[in-house]
Amino acid sequence: MARRATETREHGTRKCYLRGPELGAGPGCRCGDCQRANRAAGIRRERAILRGQWQPFVDAGPVREHILALGRAGLSPQNVARLAGVRPTSVIHLLYGSNGSKPGRRVRPATAKAILAVQASERTLPGAGLVDSTGTHRRVQALVAIGWSQARIAAELGMARENFSATMRGARIRAQTARAVRELYDRLWNQLPPQGTPREAALARAARAQAAARGWPPPLAWDDDRLDRPDGRPARSWLRAAAKRQLEPGAGDKNRDRDNMQATEAEAG
């Protein structure tokens, strides 16, 4: 049957039989194809009940929460679908609804089980896939706060300075970059940079001043499980101390900050 431009559901499906071919939940379609599809679905259900294999739908709420959590960790709905072995449209429907209908309230048990089994990890995040940059930025900023310059961090990552700058600006970055920064952070979070020479010491001072001027918390201000959450906040004790520093005489010493910034920029260039 020819599809009109406004039609979004395929004829010959039970969905179309129930809600019609057009956007939203209209009157069901009673064309031959849709009636046959509905009868076939009824027969499948009947047989499954007789075999003791009929599984009613389950609540989609926890599944949707899981998809949202995976999204916050950097897994797109498409990736979730791929890892769960379900169709992307199933995941999209659970999240946002589809064809003008609201997000699915119920889900097949098998689909629920497959999606709930997906975990966000370094392993499941695709290398070239884009992930949220929040945790990466916080890790770099925390390292700067204890004296690691951004140029040094870029060098440790083996990244060209321009690529690193782009990474630090973007809201989304490559998963492999996020991984590399995470590994670097895990290695350096409790180590100070070398400060043996006057130049090294000056660079470390400049980095710390830059972080102080921008309010970047150090590693100790962060719980690991908050670092990657967009709504995660540094420890209250650190926020209080930072607010206090702002009120102290000599805080916001513009000249000193500017000099330190220039030292950092000069090194970066």
| DSSP 8-state assignment for residue 27 | S
Shorter beta-carbon distance to Zn ion: residue 34 or 91 = 34
Residue 34 interacts with Zn ion (CB under 5 A)? yes
User: Is residue 174 within 8 Å of residue 125, measured between CB atoms?
Assistant: no
Q: Which of 9, 11, 14, 139 binds Zn ion (CB under 5 A)?
A: 11
Which listed range, 25-33, 118-126, 127-135, 251-259, lies at the site for Zn ion (CB under 5 A)?
25-33
| C-alpha closest to that of 175 among 116, 218, 206, 131 | 131
**Gap between the Cα atoms of 47 and 90, Å rounded:** 24
Q: Please, what is the minimum distance in Å from the beta carbon of residue 39 to Zn ion?
A: 13
Q: Does 31 bind Zn ion (CB under 5 A)?
A: yes
Is the torsion defined by CA of 145, 151, 152, 156 positive or negative?
positive
- The single residue among 9, 15, 19, 29 that binds Zn ion, judged by CB under 5 A, is 29
With contacts defined by CB under 5 A, how many residues of the chain interact with Zn ion? 5
Closer CB to Zn ion, residue 34 or residue 178? 34
Calculate ∠ Cα 249-253-258, nearest 5°. Answer: 170
Q: Identify residues 213-252 at the interface with Zn ion (CB under 5 A).
A: none
Give the distance, in angstroms, between the CA of residue 47 and the centroid of all CA atoms in the same chain: 42
- Does residue number 19 form part of the binding site for Zn ion (CB under 5 A)? no
Nearer residue to Zn ion within complex by CB, 16 or 178: 16
What CA–CA distance (Å, rounded) separates 200 from 231? 35
Name the residue nearer to Zn ion (CB basis): 34 or 263: 34
CA separation for the pair 173, 167 (Å, rounded): 6
| Stretch in the footprint of Zn ion (CB under 5 A) among 12-20, 105-113, 133-141, 158-166 | 12-20
Of the listed pieces 16-24, 55-63, 97-105, 221-229, which binds Zn ion according to CB under 5 A?
16-24
Token pair recorded at residue 4:
């009109």
φ and ψ of 34, to 5 deg: -70, -40
Query: Site residues (CB under 5 A) for Zn ion?
Result: 11, 16, 29, 31, 34
